[in-house]
Amino acid sequence: MAPAAMPTTDNATDSGLWQAGWYRFAKALRSPNFGPRPASAQTDLIVLHSISLPPGEYGGNAVQQLFTNQLDWDAHPYFQGIRGLEVSSHFYVRRNGELWQFVSCDDRAWHAGVSSWRGRGNCNDDSIGIELEGLEGEHFEAPQYETLASLCAAIAQHYAIAHIAGHEHIAPGRKQDPGSGFDWRLLREHLGWNPRMFPEQVAQR
């Protein structure tokens, strides 16, 4: 039984895990790169990505800097090619499983670009984006799968998630992340979700 003095929130649907779309177990670092979701949006999709800056180099802070418009474009030759890019994701999972959050899941982050899935375009409108520190085609670390699985489960407790897909699935030909090194079967086993929630390409893999 709940104690009588338990504080209440404005939003009665917020569990202890969530506060206005912010996940309790993530390090919060607010990005300016977001906007409101369309009023009609039903957030039912999780999109998985991979990212590292420069590509293949792990452990630095360039991704957090990129998502907060703080990246020094002159610090590395690779950054010249993405100069001025304004993007974000809701979450970022480091190689050691450390979890960061940049945008409230109640808001629209800028991770998917031109995209389409389950018959709907503009996937940023109604998806939650999760970046994994990594490189397309390379493997991911066990702590990343553990963090990812617990995060996805927590998201699904709070949002009516019906689909999960990679950037490569919602923007085929244009994007390849998280790539062939990502173990969809392992994530599926961790989550125990219906295979029909996953892309056909990976549901049987």
Q: Which residue has the tokens 């109604």?
A: 126
User: Is residue 144 a contact partner of residue 69, using CB atoms and an 8 Å limit?
Assistant: no
Q: Is the Cβ of residue 18 or residue 131 nearer to Zn ion in the bound state?
A: 131
- Confirm whether 131 is a catalytic residue: yes
Minimum distance, C-beta of residue 185 to Zn ion, in the bound complex (Å): 21
Return the range that interacts with Zn ion (CB under 5 A); candidates 4-12, 47-55, 68-76, 183-191. 47-55
DSSP assignment string, 34-74: EEEPPTT----EEEEEEE-SSTT--SSSHHHHHHTT---TT
Nearest-angstrom CA–CA distance, 124 and 99: 20
Nearest-angstrom CA–CA distance, 133 and 50: 6
Out of 44, 133, 136, 177, the residue judged to bind Zn ion by CB under 5 A:
177
Q: Tokens at residue 147, please?
A: 């963090």
Out of 37, 163, 167, 169, the residue judged to bind Zn ion by CB under 5 A:
167
Q: What is the DSSP letter of 195?
A: G
Out of 37, 43, 49, 170, the residue judged to bind Zn ion by CB under 5 A:
49
Minimum distance, C-beta of residue 125 to Zn ion, in the bound complex (Å): 16
* Ranges within 1-20 binding Zn ion (CB under 5 A): none
* Ranges within 73-102 binding Zn ion (CB under 5 A): none
For helices 184-191 and 142-158, the axis angle rounded to 10 degrees is 50
Region for 95 from its dihedrals, namely left if φ exceeds 0, alpha if ψ lies in -120 to 50, beta otherwise: alpha
User: Does residue number 136 form part of the binding site for Zn ion (CB under 5 A)?
Assistant: no
Return the range that interacts with Zn ion (CB under 5 A); candidates 85-93, 99-107, 174-182, 192-200. 174-182
Return the range that interacts with Zn ion (CB under 5 A); candidates 27-35, 49-57, 102-110, 193-201. 49-57
Minimum distance, C-beta of residue 178 to Zn ion, in the bound complex (Å): 8
**Residues that bind Zn ion in the complex, under the rule CB under 5 A:** 49, 167, 177
- What is the set of active-site residues? 131
